[in-house]
């Protein structure tokens, strides 16, 4: 992955989030407060502008800038979580090389997951971002030797599966947890946006 591909990834996320904003918001309406799509859309729109202005020189810079912008534009739970994730991913990458390979990205994605879990204290099965992100990173790592396109495809598929599996889960973190057992039967909005992020990576890496 070079800077151009990293920026394509972010642009693809922004496009997917814009397109799916209503869908994400409706998912959040069922078990949350109906703002997830709007929030991410506001955030990634700002990220695209910020990247245009900053014109980062390394993949690491692209991702740190993405994270920083998300933190300062999104708010809610998703802002700090995704913002911290992208910052951690960027910071885990080689600071000065203009390209990174699949293995390096795998390590960085794992660091992003760790940051999300450190901040939000969610474990697998809590019906959160982690339920899509966790399987996605594992699949990415496993397929890293086959190169970025294959690893990204595997990660997107695993994220999708994790996302779908959240439907049957009883939420223990985030707003959905307030619903108790009534959270069961609804797909988690955060897990859904996580899938969009990995699907965007698969699309641009293909």
Residues within the interface to other proteins (CB under 8 A): 25-26, 29-35, 37-39, 42, 71-81, 119-120, 170, 172-180, 182
Residue among 127, 114, 137 nearest 197 (CA): 137
Q: Which two tokens stand for residue 18?
A: 């814009």
CA dihedral 19→85→161→153, nearest 10 degrees, is 80
Which region among 27-35, 45-53, 103-111, 134-142 touches ligand ADP (by CB under 6 A)?
A: 27-35
Q: Is 141 in the site for ligand ADP (CB under 6 A)?
A: no
Residue 76 makes contact with ligand ADP by CB under 6 A: yes
From residue 31 to residue 70, the character string flagging contacts with ligand ADP as x (rule: CB under 6 A) and all else as - is: -xx-xx--x-------------------------------
State the SS3 of 60-120: HHHHHHHHHHHHHHCCCCHHHHHHHHHHHHHHHCCCCCCECCHHHHHHHHHHHHHHHHHHH
107 within 8 A of 68, measured Cβ to Cβ? no
Q: Which is nearer to Mg ion, 67 or 189 (CB)?
A: 189
Please give the Cα distance from 14 to 42 (Å, whole number). Answer: 9
Query: Shortest Cβ distance from residue 38 to Mg ion (Å)?
Result: 9
Chosen from other proteins, ligand ADP, Mg ion, none, partner binding at 177 (C-beta under 5 to 8 Å by type): other proteins
Interface with Mg ion includes 127 (CB under 5 A)? no
**Among the candidate windows 7-15, 93-101, 135-143, 171-179, which touches ligand ADP by CB under 6 A?**
171-179
50-109: which residues touch Mg ion (CB under 5 A)? 76
Minimum Å gap between C-beta 188 and other proteins is 13
CB of 119 vs other proteins, minimal distance in Å: 6
- How many binding residues for Mg ion (CB under 5 A)? 6
Q: Find the largest Cα–Cα distance for the chain.
A: 48
Q: Is-contact 47 69, C-beta < 8 A?
A: yes
Least separation in angstroms between residue 192's CB and Mg ion is: 12
Among 1, 7, 20, 28, binds ligand ADP (CB under 6 A): 28
For residues 109 and 82, is the Cβ–Cβ distance under 8 A? Answer: no
Of residues 119, 124, 121, 120, the one with CA closest to residue 137:
124
């Amino acid at each position: 992955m070079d800077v151009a591909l990293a920026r394509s990834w972010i642009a693809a996320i922004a496009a997917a989030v814009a397109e799916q904003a209503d869908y994400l918001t409706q998912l959040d309406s069922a078990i949350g407060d109906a703002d997830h799509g709007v929030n991410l859309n506001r955030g990634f729109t700002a990220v695209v502008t910020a990247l245009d202005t900053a014109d980062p020189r390394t993949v690491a810079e692209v991702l740190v800038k993405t994270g920083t912008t998300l933190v300062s534009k999104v708010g809610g739970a998703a802002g700090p979580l995704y913002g911290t994730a992208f910052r951690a991913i960027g910071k885990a990458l080689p600071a000065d090389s203009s390209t990174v390979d699949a293995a390096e990205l795998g390590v960085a994605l794992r660091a992003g997951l760790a940051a999300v879990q450190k901040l939000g204290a969610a474990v697998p099965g809590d019906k959160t971002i982690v339920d899509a992100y966790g399987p996605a990173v594992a699949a990415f790592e496993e397929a890293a030797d086959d190169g970025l396109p294959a690893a990204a495809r595997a990660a997107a598929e695993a994220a999708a599966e994790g996302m779908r599996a959240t439907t049957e889960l009883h939420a223990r973190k985030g707003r959905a947890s307030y619903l108790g057992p009534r959270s069961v039967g609804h797909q988690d909005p955060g897990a859904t946006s996580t899938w969009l992020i990995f699907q965007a990576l698969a699309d641009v890496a293909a």
